[in-house]
Structure 1
Amino acid sequence: MTQEFEMSMCGELKYFLGLQVSQSEKGVFISQSAYAKSLVKRFGMENSKVSKTPMSTSLKLARDEAGEDVDVKLYRGMIGSLLYLTASRPDLSFSAGVCARYQAKPKVSHLNAVKRIMKYVKGTESLGVYYSKNSNKNFVGYCDADWAGCVDDRKKSSAGADSGCTYDSDWFWNPRTLWKRAA
C-alpha cells in the first residue's frame, strides 16, 4: 500500500471512531468504556443503583396506550446511544432493540426499561469484545428466538452470534412476523 499511498506509522492504535482499542500479543480488546461512562452521566444515572441484567426476564413491554407520555427526544436519544454502544457490547443488542420498538409513542413503562439498561451499563462499563489471535478457527453459531413474543403484533424476536475465532464476529437482533418462520 505504501507504493500507492503516502503512509506513516503513528504508533499503536488506541482509539478508532469512538472505540477504545487495547492490543496485546494474544489479541485485541475493543470497548467503549469512556462512552459508556459519558452516557450514564449524560442521562443523569450516575447516582442510580446498578442492575445485574439489562432487562428482567419477566418484563413484557407493550404499547401501553393508557400510560403517561415521556419526552420523545430523551427516549430516542437514550435508545440511539445504546444502539451505538452495541458496536462493542452485543449483550445490549436484544434489550435495546426491544425498547427501540416504542420510539414513536414512548411511555413511562418503556422509559423505565431503558433506564434499567442504563443501570446495567453503569455496572458493566468496562465490558467489550475480545478478538483472539490464537484460536482453533472453528466456526460456531448461536441463536435463539421467542416466537411471537411481542404482545403488540405477535412478531418474534430472534438474536444470535457467530464465532470464528473465539469472539463474536457478528451479532444480530431481528423482529419478524410469525408467518415468516421457516419450517
Structure 2
Amino acid sequence: MYAASLLSRFMNSPTKRHIGVARRVLRYVQGTLSYGIEYVRNQSATLVGFCDADWADSEDDSRSTSGYAFSFGS
C-alpha cells in the first residue's frame, strides 16, 4: 500500500523509472494474492493501531508522508 501511495504522487508526469517501479509493485501483488489472514474462533483478539506522519521532509517532492500499521490478534 505504501508503494502504491508513493507512486500515485507521480501520476501526472511519470518517468520510465516510475513505470518500472509500478511494474515491480504489480509483480509483487500478483505473487502474494494467495496470502491471507487467519481468524480463530473463541480466541481473544485485540486491534492495535499506530500512525506516523512526516511533513514535507521528502526530498523528491516536499509532500507529507504518512503511514499506518495495525495488528489484530497476535
Q: Same fold (TM over 0.5)?
A: yes
Tell me the number of residue pairs that the alignment of Structure 1 and Structure 2 aligns. 73
Match of 2:11 in 1: 103
Match of 2:43 in 1: 135
Matched, 1:122 2:27: no
Deviating beyond 6 angstroms after TM superposition, the runs of 4 or more aligned structure 1 residues are: none
Match of 2:73 in 1: 166
Identity %: 33
**2: CA distance, partners of 1:100 / 1:158:** 14
RMSD of aligned C-alpha atoms? 2.5
Change in CA separation of 1:157 and 1:106 when aligned onto 2, cut-off 3 Å = same
Normalising by structure 2, we get a TM-score of 0.69
- 8 Å CA contact 1:150–1:157 kept in 2: the answer is no
- 8 Å CA contact 1:132–1:166 kept in 2: the answer is no
AA partner of residue 96 (structure 1): A
- Secondary structure in 1 aligned to 2:6? helix
Change in CA separation of 1:127 and 1:110 when aligned onto 2, cut-off 3 Å = same
**2: CA distance, partners of 1:150 / 1:126:** 36
Give the deviation of 1:129 after TM superposition: 3.6
What runs of 5+ residues in structure 1 fail to find an aligned partner?
1-92, 168-183
What runs of 5+ residues in structure 2 fail to find an aligned partner?
none
